[in-house]
Amino acid sequence: MAEHAALVLASASPQRRAILERVGAMFVVRPANIEEIGQGEPAVVARENALGKARAARLNQEETVLGVDTLVAIDGRIYGKPADRDAARETLKALGGATHTVFSGVAVLVEEEERVAVAATEVSFRELSDERVEWYLAKEEWRGRAGAYAIQGAGAVLVREIHGDYENVVGLPLATLLDLYPALL
């Protein structure tokens, strides 16, 4: 990657930045401001939003741009970032005692190529009492989080088990990204 300009991360997510920093990737942050799709088949929605973000952040074809969109779905219903505390409560109650899927669309624009994939991780939540939901809401981690929780924070106590890529649940499926863009490292 020394011969190339840094990767452009089309996201303001501190979790995505932290994952890239942890593996030593060279990147710059340029958040993309697009109107995200909120309804539809979850994997398709995540894919299209990621591609839209990457395209919106790209200034020229010499840039390599990474767009990512993460969402939570259960029974085909998408749970994005809750608008407020009441929406976060509703989301957590829907996820409690059930298994949901975290989908992340990953789009890497490299020269004329658009490399796109979707990662999916199954997450099973414990039964959540009203008291546990209120305890978690008070932590304020739900803000800006798909599915209203952060597995890498206090939200870990909500989770019984996961099947798949942990980093996907955090917000950037590193294995999928490396499949699409091995030059990252």
The helix-helix angle for 85-95 and 130-138 (nearest 10°) equals 140
- Residue indicated by tokens 């074809």: 61
Its pTM stands at 0.94
Closest CA to 101 of 175, 156, 43: 43
Mean pLDDT of 156-168: 98
Burial label, 15 (beta-carbon count in 10 A; 0-12, 13-18, 19+): buried
Q: Tell me how far the alpha carbon of residue 151 is from its chain's centroid.
A: 12
Q: Are 158 and 129 in contact (CB under 8 A)?
A: no
Q: Per residue in 75-109, pLDDT tens?
A: 999 999 999 999 999 999 999 999 999 999 999 99
Q: Per residue in 3-24, pLDDT tens?
A: 445 799 999 999 999 999 999 9
| pLDDT on residue 105 | 98
Which are the catalytic amino acids? Answer: 69
